[in-house]
Homo-oligomer: A and B are copies of this chain.
Amino acid sequence: MENKTERFEKLLVKNGLKRTAPRLQVLEILSGRDSATSQPYLEQVMGKDADRVTLYRVLQAFEEKGIIHKVLDQQGTANYAICSDGCSAHEHHDEHVHFNCDNCHKIYCLDSVKIPALKVPVGFKVEHLNLIATGLCANCSDKVN
């Protein structure tokens, strides 16, 4: 199996980004989590390893290249998750449902759930759909019962 860091390095090069420590660290953190990661959490984990400004810029660059996508939770806080294959700078294929757990506050990308087509009033042209469900995730609804 291919080394994880190697994969990340290729990913960066493929997108014309240099292989730098903060970028690799962000990819490392994001890939190790099963749900989207909030900007404040990233900031905390990176600590003094990288400047806050650098983090902003890394995330912005990744988003532009289609390496990660941003999901806003109900409070408007930005959360980031690595895009599944098939995303690019030109087109994000992240029109899956996001699930924001009321209990643990994690945000899951439900890649398998597609957003159904929508009937909108005449004249409106839908480009993208963004659906966030809230409730209890599988983990938390287990614990509660």
Contact = CB atoms under 8 A, between A and B. Distances in A.
Interface of A: 72, 74, 76-78, 97, 99, 102, 110, 112-113, 115-116, 118-139, 141-142
A112 B59 CA distance: 37
Report how many copies the assembly holds: 2
A64 to B, nearest CB: 15
A131 B134 contact: no
Contacts of A113: 118-121
Contacts of A134: 126-130
Given A76-B76, A113-B118, A118-B113, A142 B123 contact: yes
A78 to B, nearest CB: 7
- Per CB-CB distance, the 3 closest pairs between chain A and chain B, nearest first, are A123-B138, A127-B135, A76-B76
B141 A125 contact: yes
Contact of A76 (B72, B112, B126): B72
A102 B132 CA distance: 19
